[in-house]
Each structure stands twice: as structure tokens, then as C-alpha cells.
Structure 1
């Protein structure tokens, strides 16, 4: 066994032990630990920014050599404002309702025999993510709040930032709270450690990769651990013939330009051909003034002077100030294009016709579908989830921005009073009542009755 295998096994084992204890840490202690993390991020601001500057300097050198993209460098950068946002996000997670212990359903099987379905942590979660150092903090905060131990693997381009943030998180929690187990968060760095991690299906309960479809497929093909993937966002905005064109221009601009490096930025603009001549010239001028490189199909290029789009463009996540434009005949043409080329992430229709909006929103296969709103709203914090581990483009077990609820599963708790299965079998079997209850489970709730 290599040193990496040995270290990874030890880290995962430590996380597994911590998970069993963390599941029983009360909400007050978990929230106090989260607030301690937020305070520590504020206190160590200069240290974090210095580490991040090292990463950014190296990344910019890689950018000059053509090995990194500008979008990656943009996602990597931290400043004082972003650190305030990160700390605020941690505090927001602390303020969320406790996802653990909630009674999801209650049913009387017979008098004195009651079955409860109760929310519990998943256990040990592993995440592999790319250049954004804030992802490490978001994921750790959500794991702690939801009672899960977490294995964190960031991209090598953010090593210094991730190490510093991880150390701050561990120092803020380990030994500071009597009930909080040390080792609930672990950091791994080498590719060999990831490969070893993927073999530990007896200790890791869920893997959540964030990256390209190829990367997520690699993870899925090389592990027996359940995988909840966050893949690229090939997002669309469709401007309908009955859109408020002034509003549509603002939304389409925001969806691309407000922050183009993220997965919920629009990559393809679909425009109804009946309004294209009126709508496109002004928007194209505005895009070009903002530095957006534009490509279009033949019909679009008859109206505006932009580059030629290829078939590959319709399936490309640019993650930068680039956008493709295509004209469509109606909402059903738009739906067909999105379902054929999108990544099931986030799509938006701009229209004042409620029936057309309904057709688009019900006809699109995506985790989030919006009406008259920018795709940039697809975000765990903006959804009121506190933060997100990622945005799941699959359908099982969580979809869209994955917050606290997506990091829980459930157990069945049965409360009885000496009940026997034999009572309900054979010729003299008693019937079950199977009556829904409006009662929350509490430990040993029938013991004193």
C-alpha cells in the first residue's frame, strides 16, 4: 500500500468515525461551530488573501501559456468583499432550519404501534470541485449543519487558498466544542488520493463531483459509491414573440455579462424570428460594448454582423464573455433546441403570454426553468438554501442547487409496546389501521404512556 493510500484510508476512517458522532450533535452546537468559522474567516482575512494571491499569480502565468482560461482565473480570485460574502454565507447556513430530526411522515400501524420517517444525515460525503475556493467553505458549512462528515478535494490551481481555508475551519472547530468530533472535515490533494477514495465504497456514502461532463463521467465509471454530479451549465434564454423586449434585453444582458464565469450564465440566446429584427441590433450593440464575443446562425447573421456559429457552439459552456445566438420559429422550436443541446441545468423564457410560458416550463427537461428572470438566479444562496454543495443536473436523489435537504436521507423509527408480527398473521390476524398521524417523533415517545 502506498503512502497516499494509507493516508487516504486513515482520513476516510477518521471521517467515518466522526460522522457517527456528528449525527447526534445538537443544533445549537452545530450552529455555534458555524458562527465560529465565520468569525475565523473575518479574523484571518489577510492570511487568506495572501494565500489566494499566490494561487492567482501562478494561474495567471498558466493563462499566459495558454494552459488556463480567463474564466478559471476569475473564479479563483478572492478579495475582501468576497470573503465577507463567504463568511455571510456560513452565517446564513447557521440560520437555516435544522434539517435533522424532522418527522417526514407519521403513521399508526395499529393502536400503540407507530411508524415515523425521520430525516438523518447521509454520513460521509466526498466532494471534488474546481477552482473556486469559496466552494470549500460552502460545502464544509453545509456538511456540518446537516451532520455529515466531509472529504474535500479542490483543484490544484487553488491549493494554497484551500489549505488555508481548511486549516481555519479545522482550528475554529476542533477542540472548541465538546460535542463536535475532530476529523469531521478532511482535505485531500493528490489525484492518487482521489482514485483511492473512489475505491472506499464501504466507508464513503456519496461522492459529489463538480466539473465537466467528462470529469463527472470519469468519477461515475470508477467508483461504486453513489454519485451526485454537478456538470457544466449550457444554459439558454428564449425571447418569445410576446416578450416585453425592453425587459428581455436587460435579462439577456444580465444572464451573460453579470458574471460570465459561472455555470448559471447563459451560453445560447434563442430569439423568435418574428421579433429578431427589432430586438437584436440594440442588444448586440450592448453586448459588444461589454466585450462579448458573439456568434450566430445564418438567420441571425442576416440581421446583425457577428461571427458564425458552428454546431459545436450550441453545446458549449463558454464560461466567458462569449455567446451564441439562434433564431427559432416558436416556443416549441425553442424547446426542441434546448432539450437537444442543453445540459439540464437552467433555462429561461421571456414572454408575457402565460400559456407560452407554461409550455416552455413544462416542456423543458432541466433542474430549473424560469419565466421572465435571469438564469443567474439558479443558486443555493439566492434560493434561500443558505449555500449549495453544487447544482445537480441529474434527477436522483437531489436536483438543482443542493442545500441542506439534499444532504439528508431518512430512517424509519417504529415505536411499539411489545407488539408481535404473529398478531397480524394467520386466520385470526388483526387488521392494520394504517392511519396517518399528525405527530412528530421524539425519542422513546411512548415510554411514559
Structure 2
């Protein structure tokens, strides 16, 4: 493994030398090879799905990779290829009192390692983001997607061979003991992004010596304010829970202002019933409609399923207090027609993505115009929210002088 990582470190340097045009062509060729290989990729995915019958429905949904999903992936790769250059950008420049001229210029982070579960699209999207930003890329996918990832990697490798370029993407099919070694290889890796279940993120965060950018669980909230447009609120709540419940940006708790519950709750339940959503409610909710009584652990749970917490709150302040106590720092939303309430919520809720009158499901690199994301960071440093190209760069200072000494 060390030799592979050492070779990757050398070849990734070449990405900067070949320039933006060649990096763009490489990403487009990967998309082209995936399209050519679509039949083999689907067949490989069917094998993985057959082997995944014992996994949760959420994991199986994330694993599924059909023709439509592959076409969306290729569109995502093409979007990444066409994004503006982020390497060699002059972010700032000035002349110091000594006369030396200083520029702050963006550069790649180095070698980035993504460790992830299910979601075969991550294999190609992270590879493309790293190529575009001239970073080396190490991928460690989950065993449940082994066949699909292998088929995608065949397309990626074929793209490198077609363009006669040294490979800057390395896929590692290794076990947990080797992962523990991998995340301590500071000499070869500059950043690790764990993207998966809570146990995976915790394991990497607690054991890595390489810097970690956490894509943690998504315990996302929606607060329906007393001034909310109820029709708008129902559409947003149902979308945030039901459009893709296995996604980390799906809502897990809806908080409702006490003054609107009698009118709003029956309407919300009718919308959720269309998707057979199981409701976990506080005692006040349970007094109004049939549901499972929520316990303290319910408020911290990422269901990734057609399950939803409902809680009645006295006011905006109580809603924000609940969110800041139980949120994972991912995405939260307020539904309100009151400008002051919206601004207060946007300002004081401490999460990566905070919405007014829109679904939390927009927390996504593609929706943000990034093409895709390496992950959705719940860190505060160095990146937060959907991690796109810009967040895969750092900077250095270039100083030009004319014989100045100090």
C-alpha cells in the first residue's frame, strides 16, 4: 500500500503540470468511458444489490445504480469539467513596505482520501473533483458496492490509458485493519473525508493522524413558524422527508409553533400518510393525532427512512434551542412569512446550511452549482457544507523581489 501511495504522490504532481485543458479532457473522457461501459456497470450493480438483501432499505437505496442514475452521474462529471479553474488563482496581492511584491495563490491540497459506504456515484464524482483541482485521489469504497465500484474504476482507468496520462486516482479494496493503517499515513495523505454511517465517521475521526473533514450524520430540522404559509410548509416538509429519506439532507424532525398545530398537524399527517411515514411525536402531538411517542433518544436519531419526529414548541426561541441541542450541524430550515423571524433563525442557528422557506434537500454539491461534492462537511474548519472544488484547494504566498534584504 505504501508503494502505491508513494507512486500516487508523484503522479498527482503531474496533474498541475498538464494544465486545465488536459484535466478537463480527462474528466470528459471518464464520462465517455462510463457511458460506453454502462451495461457492465449495471450488471455489476445487480450483483451488489443481490448480495445486499440483508442491509437496511436506506443502504440498498443508496447502492442502487441504474441507467438513469448513471446518466445523471455523467452529467455531473461534465458539469465539474466545465467549472471555472480553481488552481493558480490569485486570491490577493499587494506590495509590502519593503518593496517586495506578494501574491496569495490557490494550490491543490495534495492527496485526498475518501472513505465511503454504498453510493457508487461517489467513486467517479470524487475522482473528477480531485482531477479538476489537481489533487491526487485515494478511494476506499464499501464492500457492499465492490462490484459496481470496480466496474466504474475500469472506466476511469481506461480514460487515463486512452489519453496516455499517469493515473492520479487509486482505489483500495482493503479491510478494516488496513484502513486503520491508511488513516495514519501522514507522509502520503493530506486529507481524509469519511462519508457514511455514524460508526465509520467516528472510527476515522478518533483514529486518524491525517487531518479529517467529517461528513457526519444529517439530523436535519424544519421549524414551522406561526406565520408560515401552511400550503408551502406542507410541501416543504413532505419533500424534505419523503423525496429521498435515505439522503443525509432529509429532514428528521419537524418543530411546529403551538398556535398553528390544530390546523397544520392534520394537513401534514395527510401529506405524510401518502408515503406511509411513521410519526414519532412528543406528548402534545400524541394528544392530537395517533403516533408513536418519541423519547429523548428520538431527537438525536438519523432515521434515513420514512420516519419523522414531530414536536410542538412554544416559540422561535424554543425551536432554535432544540435545534442547537440536537442538530448534527448539517441543514436546518424555517418556514415563515415573518422577515424578522427568518433573519433571526438564519443568524443564530449554528449549522452548515440554514434555509428560509426552502427544503433541506438542496444541501447538495450539484444543487449548489458545484457539480458534485466530496462530502457535506459538518466541520467548521477548513470547509463547511457541500465541499466542492474551491474547498479542495489551499494556498501559498509567492513573493517577488529585486534584491531586497531585511
TM-score category by the smaller chain? over 0.9
Whole-angstrom CA distance in 2 between matches of 1:354 and 1:259: 29
TM-score, normalisation: structure 2 = 0.98
The superposition leaves residues 381-401 of structure 1 with CA deviations (integer Å, 9 ceiling, x where unpaired) of: 000011100000010000000
Q: Unaligned regions of 5+ residues in structure 2, if any?
A: none
Whole-angstrom CA distance in 2 between matches of 1:368 and 1:182: 35
Offset of residue 274 of structure 1: 0.5
TM-score, normalisation: structure 1 = 0.88
| Contact 1:18 1:184 survives alignment (8 Å) | no
Partner of residue 91 from structure 1, selected from 64, 78, 81: 78
SS at 1:24 equivalent: helix
| Contact 1:56 1:73 survives alignment (8 Å) | yes
Residue 217 of structure 2 corresponds to residue 227 of structure 1: no
The superposition leaves residues 255-311 of structure 1 with CA deviations (integer Å, 9 ceiling, x where unpaired) of: 001111100000001110100110010110221121111110010111111111111
Residue 145 of structure 2 corresponds to residue 152 of structure 1: no
RMSD: 1.2
| Contact 1:208 1:227 survives alignment (8 Å) | yes
Whole-angstrom CA distance in 2 between matches of 1:240 and 1:154: 41
Partner of 1:362: 347
Partner of 1:108: 95
**Is 109-118 or 343-352 further displaced after alignment?**
109-118
Partner of 2:51: 58
Partner of residue 352 from structure 1, selected from 337, 353, 373: 337
Whole-angstrom CA distance in 2 between matches of 1:325 and 1:379: 25
- Give the 3 Å change call, closer, same or farther, for CA 70–55 of structure 1 in structure 2: same
| Contact 2:126 2:373 survives alignment (8 Å) | yes
| Contact 1:154 1:189 survives alignment (8 Å) | no
| Contact 1:156 1:189 survives alignment (8 Å) | no
| Contact 1:122 1:205 survives alignment (8 Å) | yes
SS at 2:33 equivalent: helix
Whole-angstrom CA distance in 1 between matches of 2:11 and 2:317: 51
Partner of 1:376: 361
The superposition leaves residues 17-63 of structure 1 with CA deviations (integer Å, 9 ceiling, x where unpaired) of: 11222222200000000100111111111000000000001102x2x
Partner of residue 302 from structure 2, selected from 300, 317, 320: 317
**Is 187-196 or 202-211 further displaced after alignment?**
187-196
Partner of 1:441: none
Partner of 2:123: 136
Offset of residue 211 of structure 1: 2.2
Segments of 4+ in structure 1 off by > 4 A?
none
Partner of 1:13: 6
Whole-angstrom CA distance in 1 between matches of 2:399 and 2:365: 34
| Contact 1:209 1:219 survives alignment (8 Å) | yes
Number of aligned residue pairs = 406
Partner of 1:274: 259
| Contact 1:140 1:185 survives alignment (8 Å) | no
Bigger Rg over Cα: 1
Residue 110 of structure 2 corresponds to residue 123 of structure 1: yes
Q: Unaligned regions of 5+ residues in structure 1, if any?
A: 1-7, 63-67, 422-449
SS at 1:397 equivalent: coil
Partner of 1:342: 327
Partner of residue 26 from structure 1, selected from 14, 19, 22: 19
Whole-angstrom CA distance in 2 between matches of 1:303 and 1:194: 49
SS at 1:106 equivalent: strand
